[in-house]
Amino acid sequence: MFKSGSPVTGKDFIDRKKHLPLFKAYLDNNQHIMIKAPRRFGKTSLVKQIFDYEKKYEYVYIDIRLHHSLETLSNQIVNKAYEFVKIKNFINQAKNSLLNLLQSIKTLSIPDVAEVTIDMLSKERDPVELFIHSLDLVDTIASSRGINIKVIFDEFQDITKLHDQNILEVLRSIAQHHQNITYVFLGSLETIMTNIFENKSSPFFHFSSVIQLEGLDVDELFEYTLQQFDSKKIVYDKESLYKTICFLEGHPEYSAKVLQTLYINATLEKKKIDINSCLDAISFRVIENRAYLDEIISKLKSKKHHFEVIYNIANEKKSNIASATLYNTHVSLEDMGIIKKVEKGHYKIVDIFLKILLQQDDDTMVSLDGKLMIPMDKKT
């Protein structure tokens, strides 16, 4: 119940009744999709739930962060592609047991394509060439089997770290010819993803439909929590729980952490969950995340005006900075995924724990006594 730390699926996955139908409708229509959301908002959980757990579609899942070069990424795609025709570890076999491999590819309906792959692997190649080949291969295999394969790139914004910006143009130009692949792009840092997909001059403009993944639906999460707590015979004050869930704004990870603390404490101490236990649970989890939050804060402090502006947003103060500078700082903070525009000139902090930390007075910040000021009654 309320697991955190890694993506969740199955019974731990709190249904996203609002988001799943649209996502599935796109997939069923072979419509390319881009899902964007802030960090820790449940992107990976969502795709793992649909692909790994529900197993409704044939797919290749690639987490770009796990790769240090375009070559290793392409190799993974090649291996996955050949798994669809029951050849395991194609790359390894091509290097270490070529004769066996040549034997197995004879049985394929696409032996000539496999020969091209082997030929590619045997020489030093431009990594872009192998990348193109790997995706063409998925398309060919999908076509030969009469299926549509979903190719999912997680942390897509990092692809330009593996190669220059040009790679986006390359991908877009080959992808548009792939009749048997549906591309799913997942990414954090919203503005960068927006630039990749929604900027008119970007090669991906018009290519995919964009889904902005919001936090968990507060009412859905509340219902789920009541069910879970009731099933474990935990006693709670309903209003305090609701307030807490609303206060956490449906942030999937923070909500999971706070609710888990409430659950554990209620079980251990055998006492009713009230407003104080909720405030304590939030405090505990903010402090637990302190190292991560401090890292963000020090990054903000290293950039001119950034800390000042974010601090003022958290504390609803006006920044006394020239308007052009303020504008640029807002843009930069948005690019970093730290703030989000609510309406013209009005921003909110994406990470509710960061906001809480910035609202503490200096004494609390250093004393770390476990009691933070949580402005839960204030409208957020």
> Is the CB of residue 283 less than 8 Å from the CB of residue 371?
yes
Output the residue with the shortest Cβ distance to ligand ATP. Answer: 42
C-beta of 187: minimal distance to ligand ATP in Å?
A: 9
Binding mask 188-217 for ligand ATP (x = CB under 6 A): x-----------------------------
67-70 contacts, C-beta under 8 A, 24 or more apart: 67/162, 68/162, 69/127, 69/162, 70/127, 70/128, 70/130, 70/131, 70/162, 70/163, 70/167
C-beta of 44: minimal distance to Mg ion in Å?
A: 3
Which of the stretches 12-20, 201-209, 298-306, 344-352 binds ligand ATP when contact is defined by CB under 6 A?
A: 12-20
Please state, in angstroms and rounded to a whole number, the distance separating the CA atoms of residues 46 and 8: 8
3-state secondary structure 304-338: CCHHHHHHHHHCCCCCCCCHHHHHHHHHHHHHCCC
14 binds ligand ATP (CB under 6 A): yes
Please state, in angstroms and rounded to a whole number, the distance separating the CA atoms of residues 23 and 37: 14
Binding mask 40-59 for ligand ATP (x = CB under 6 A): xxxxxx--------------
Of 82 and 153, CB closest to ligand ATP: 153
In degrees, to the nearest 5, what angle opens at C-alpha 352 toward C-alphas 4 and 3?
Answer: 10
Binding mask 153-192 for ligand ATP (x = CB under 6 A): -----------------------------------x----
**Strand duo 58-63 + 33-36: pairing:** unpaired
C-beta of 376: minimal distance to ligand ATP in Å?
A: 21
337 binds ligand ATP (CB under 6 A): no
- Coil, helix or strand at residue 150: strand
Residue 41's binding partner among Mg ion, ligand ATP, none (Cβ under 5 to 8 angstroms by kind) is ligand ATP
From residue 149, alpha-carbon distances to 18, 30, 352 in Å are 25, 9, 37
Binding site for Mg ion (CB under 5 A): 44
What is the size of the binding site for ligand ATP (CB under 6 A)? 22
146 binds ligand ATP (CB under 6 A): no
Of 87 and 213, CB closest to Mg ion: 213
256 binds ligand ATP (CB under 6 A): yes
> Is the CB of residue 194 less than 8 Å from the CB of residue 162?
no
> Is the CB of residue 98 less than 8 Å from the CB of residue 144?
no
Residue 14's binding partner among ligand ATP, Mg ion, none (Cβ under 5 to 8 angstroms by kind) is ligand ATP
> Is the CB of residue 44 less than 8 Å from the CB of residue 13?
no
6 binds ligand ATP (CB under 6 A): yes
How many residues does this entry show for the chain? Answer: 380
Residue 159's binding partner among ligand ATP, Mg ion, none (Cβ under 5 to 8 angstroms by kind) is none
Of 42 and 203, CB closest to ligand ATP: 42
Interface residue list for ligand ATP (CB under 6 A): 3-8, 12-14, 16, 37, 39-45, 188, 252-253, 256
